[in-house]
């Protein structure tokens, strides 16, 4: 069964600031409901949340030396904040889950097919 990423992006400086505790609580409840639904439909694989982009470090090789730079790779205001890895038979099914997630979290969701998913090193996915 094909795998899709449902990715949520956050905009710098916007994370949760406009939300009251109550809003956040009800958002959590909505998200939990969708997650339970994903699970019972057999679509759930796993979910992941990331710390803000300010916590990222980029490692690269330049002139034979390993360099580290503070901050995320992409010079953008929008950064990956978290994602679900789901299984769905086709794009329509994945988009339907994406619609449920965006309704729950109030943020746009990028739905993107995986080219491969590997559970063992070298399995190719």
List interacting residues with another protein (CB under 8 A). 2, 89-92, 94-95, 112-113, 115
Q: Which is nearer to another protein, 3 or 9 (CB)?
A: 3
- Tell me the closest approach of the beta carbon of residue 33 to another protein, in angstroms: 22
Decide: residue 82, CB within 10 A, 0-12 exposed, 13-18 middle, 19+ buried: middle
State in angstroms the smallest separation of the CB of 14 from another protein.
26
SS3 81: strand
Report, in Å, the least distance between residue 2 CB and another protein: 5
Distance between CA atoms of residues 9 and 108, nearest Å:
7
Q: Alpha helix locations (H) across the chain?
A: 21-40, 91-105
Q: Return the number of the residue (7 or 53) whose C-beta is nearest another protein.
A: 7
């Amino acid at each position: 069964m094909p795998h899709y990423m449902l990715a949520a992006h956050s905009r710098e400086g916007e994370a949760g600031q406009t939300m009251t505790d109550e809003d956040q609580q009800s958002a959590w409840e909505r998200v939990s409901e969708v997650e339970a639904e994903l699970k019972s439909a057999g679509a759930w694989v796993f979910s992941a949340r990331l710390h803000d982009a300010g916590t990222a470090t980029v490692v690269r090789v330049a002139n034979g030396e390993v360099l580290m730079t503070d901050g995320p790779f992409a010079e953008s205001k929008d950064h990956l904040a978290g994602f679900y890895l789901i299984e769905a038979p086709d794009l329509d099914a994945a988009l339907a889950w994406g619609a449920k997630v965006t309704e729950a979290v109030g943020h746009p969701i990028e739905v993107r097919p995986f080219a491969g998913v590997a559970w063992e090193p070298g399995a190719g996915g």
